[in-house]
Structure 1
Amino acid sequence: MTKLADFLSIDPDTRHVSLNGRNPAFYGDPNRVYAALHAQCPTFYWEEQKQWFFTGYDHVNALLRDRRFGRQILHIASREELGLAEPEPHLTNFDLAELHSLLEVEPPEHTRLRTLVNRAFVSRHIERLRPEIADLAEKLIDGFEKDGETELLSAFADIIPVTMIGRMIGIPDEMGPQLLKWSHDYVGMYMFKRTKEDEYAADQAAKEFADYVKELIAERRREPREDLLTHMIHTEHKGQYLTDDELVSTTIVLLNAGHEATVHQIGNSVRIILESGIDPRTLFADEKVTERTVEETLRICAPVHIFQRWALEDVELDGLSFKRGDKVSLILAAANLDPQKFSDPLAFKPDRQEAPNLSFGAGIHFCIGAPLARLELNTVLPILFRRLPGLKIAAQPTVKDVYHFHGLEKLELRW
């Protein structure tokens, strides 16, 4: 194993850290880096990213809820005032798709958008999908059970979340592979490894994605159905309906967020369970035990690691002064490992009853799809381990170079 000192430099006095986010020794096992940061400087300036980062649970939890910080800044200040560069022409389609994204806007726009879609994602509505999710998982396993081996992501994890969110919105199952391709290209914009080619691919994906959603919108206006897209088109909030641009942005963010992280988390969870050596039958003995197991996998190997916030006013925090327009980053996955909150934080302990994990965020931007993701994980993981007793990892899993997401390239299994 590569020593931390070979790729991580921490100066606790200045709280400056040097770390190459593209180094496989980091993104392959970020938890040990987070442990070192907790031990020496939980709040730090990441020199390569030129930004302050917070890893402490209490700081991250508070910042997610702090209305002095927001996901956007241009609603209260101009680019010129903040010294921000003008938008890149080659990202016009991507920027338009992001313009009304639930992840990117602040109240009152956020309140209106979220109110219109929230009803579909509350737990009591989502719970009705459990039999459908279970049926899909069973059928997928039917397809490879006799083989004695499979690559879990392509045969199982990739398919379930995109199929379920697609069905909720009103997109046919056969569009699943195309939605996955658009989504993978689109979220390339959020990653540390982003190149100019990634940017062109993301913009092209945004254009094709948007064009497809516009066709669907036109169809649903002509022929309404019992799906989320029809609901968003025909439901008003205080006399206002969503515009086409808002419908496109909202549909894209729901599709991306509705499966991308869950795909990673199914793989992460299966890996952590198999590597723990704990008998899966004890981890999924009943619903309560299953829920605790799933929450512990979300805590120790979260699928999304970083969210950023703009300072909307001058703020003093943890001995630091931030000016309006400064950007800070919160490492949710590191907050989940804070030794002040979690005993033996790097250990997988499914019977933990400590602080709730922050993997879905907190505050007004708490992940709207969290009930769906939790239901999918709580439904498919017990089925997988029940159907395939003796499940083992067949080849050393490789983590994708997609930080600040965290997921596997593939997960080869045998039984």
Structure 2
Amino acid sequence: MTQTSFLSIDPVTRRVSLDARDPAFYTDPNKTYAALHASCPSFYWEEQKQWFFTGYDHVNALLRDRRFGRQILHIATREELGMPEPAAHTRHFDKAEEHSLLEIEPPEHTRLRTLVNRAFVSRHVEKMTPEITELTNRLIDDFEKDGETELLSTFADIIPVTMIARMIGIPEEMGPQLLKWSHDYVGMYMFKRSRADEEAADRSAKEFADYVRQVIAERRAEPRDDLLSHMIHTEHKGQFLTEDELISTTIVLLNAGHEATVHQIGNSVRVILDSGIDPATLFTDEKTTERTVEETLRICAPVHIFQRWCLEPCDIDGVSFKRGDKVSLILAAANLDPQKFPEPLEFKPSRDEGANLSFGAGIHFCIGAPLARLELNIVLPLLFQRLPGLKIAETPRVKDVYHFHGLERLDLTW
């Protein structure tokens, strides 16, 4: 039996009590994940009333297992499953999510993903290298002479939202507003969200959708060379995206296209500086840079959990599930499985033990992974090369936004 102020693990029953809002947990969840791996990698989380999986092989397999899906109401009714009706105060949020790539299954998922996938393949994304490099250098130019900066507001917040806005065809000056909508929106995915969080997410979802609807109307009238125009005017097997599908897809691409990458830039800089390894040795060439980026993604992933509905009865790791049960997969914990990654809590950019699961796997593998990886592979080397002697000025605070993982602020000096 493991017992702390915020965590209780019974390895016999595989029952775990864990307060996800306790700073001792969300500030450094990796320690808790290590304890879970040691006691019961598959466990029932009492507060969440769900089974969770942390083992690399289980998480990797379940992400690809077609007996599980992101939606359930395409094969069963709310009445059959004993699900309550949707809440009235989140109706705008629910509407915006109705056709989200993250929330739907084939054949709808296949059709929507086919229409946007081409824009995100590596060879297309790599054309953005000069733009990302120019923006990164310009931002560093703004604060280099100061000898200090708060990296999230002056750097990490700006690059991903600017690039995804350019790609989709949203004016760059909308960046701050997109960040506000996005922060409110993802509040719906936090553990123990409050009524106020839900109302803020719903309000921002309505404003976001109204704005996207207006831009769609402009692109219908005057198409441009951007992703939104492409989605509006391209058909798949004789079908075009509906207005609601266009709105849902645009919102999810804007949110997913920057929220996690903002967190990851901050997380990566922190873990590199905390490691004591000379940054100059981590970015000597393309290969070492890629390995460094992948190791930061492994050890401090920005998104920790994805959930799945059980679509048909099955047994996983000795646990029986019925149709309509929900299970959760802790991607960040799978990245720390000692069976897959020896000494998993150690930051080792020289690792060669296989892929991390920070972008998921299967049909819902993150469509923006090539863009996020490109941004990290450009941004991190430039930052450390331009600012030798980079140091953390004061211990960063981690945001209370689990199951996301990111910093409140990152104060640096050089």
Q: Check whether the contact 1:72–1:106 (CA below 8 A) recurs between aligned residues.
A: yes
Q: 1:25 matched to which residue of 2? A: 24
Query: Could you tell me how far apart the structure 1 residues matched to 2:178 and 2:4 are?
Result: 41
Unpaired runs of 5+ in structure 2? none
**Count of matched residue pairs:** 413
1:49 aligns with 2:22: no
Report the Cα offset of residue 4 of structure 1. Answer: 6.5
Query: Could you tell me how far apart the structure 1 residues matched to 2:389 and 2:405 are?
Result: 26
1:321 aligns with 2:320: yes
Partner letter of residue 255 of structure 1?
L
Q: Secondary structure at the match of 1:224?
A: coil
Q: 1:13 matched to which residue of 2? A: 12
Partner letter of residue 167 of structure 1?
R
Q: 1:335 matched to which residue of 2? A: 334
Query: Could you tell me how far apart the structure 1 residues matched to 2:5 and 2:201 are?
Result: 33
Q: 2:63 matched to which residue of 1? A: 64
Q: Deviations over 1:260-314 (max 9, x none)?
A: 0000000000000000011111100001100000000000000000000000001
Q: 2:72 matched to which residue of 1? A: 73
Q: Check whether the contact 1:4–1:33 (CA below 8 A) recurs between aligned residues.
A: no
Q: Secondary structure at the match of 2:308?
A: strand
What TM-score, normalized to structure 2? Answer: 0.99
Q: Check whether the contact 2:68–2:309 (CA below 8 A) recurs between aligned residues.
A: yes
Q: Check whether the contact 2:93–2:201 (CA below 8 A) recurs between aligned residues.
A: yes
Unpaired runs of 5+ in structure 1? none
Counting only pairs closer than 5 Å after superposition, residues 363-378 of structure 1 correspond to structure 2 as 363-378=362-377
Partner letter of residue 412 of structure 2?
L
Report the Cα offset of residue 193 of structure 1. Answer: 3.7
Counting only pairs closer than 5 Å after superposition, residues 269-284 of structure 1 correspond to structure 2 as 269-284=268-283
1:174 aligns with 2:173: yes
Query: Could you tell me how far apart the structure 1 residues matched to 2:72 and 2:5 are?
Result: 37
Q: 1:389 matched to which residue of 2? A: 388
Q: Deviations over 1:54-81 (max 9, x none)?
A: 0000000000000000000000000000
Quote the RMSD (CA, aligned, Å): 0.7
Q: Deviations over 1:72-119 (max 9, x none)?
A: 000000000000000000111000000000000000000000000000
Partner letter of residue 54 of structure 2?
T
Q: Deviations over 1:297-342 (max 9, x none)?
A: 0000000000000000011110010000000000000000000000
Report the Cα offset of residue 6 of structure 1. Answer: 2.2
1:288 aligns with 2:287: yes
What TM-score, normalized to structure 1? Answer: 0.99
Question: Sequence identity, in percent?
Answer: 81
Q: Check whether the contact 1:193–1:401 (CA below 8 A) recurs between aligned residues.
A: no
Counting only pairs closer than 5 Å after superposition, residues 66-145 of structure 1 correspond to structure 2 as 66-145=65-144
Query: Could you tell me how far apart the structure 2 residues matched to 1:19 and 1:355 are?
Result: 30
Query: Could you tell me how far apart the structure 1 residues matched to 2:335 and 2:91 are?
Result: 36
Q: Check whether the contact 2:307–2:327 (CA below 8 A) recurs between aligned residues.
A: yes
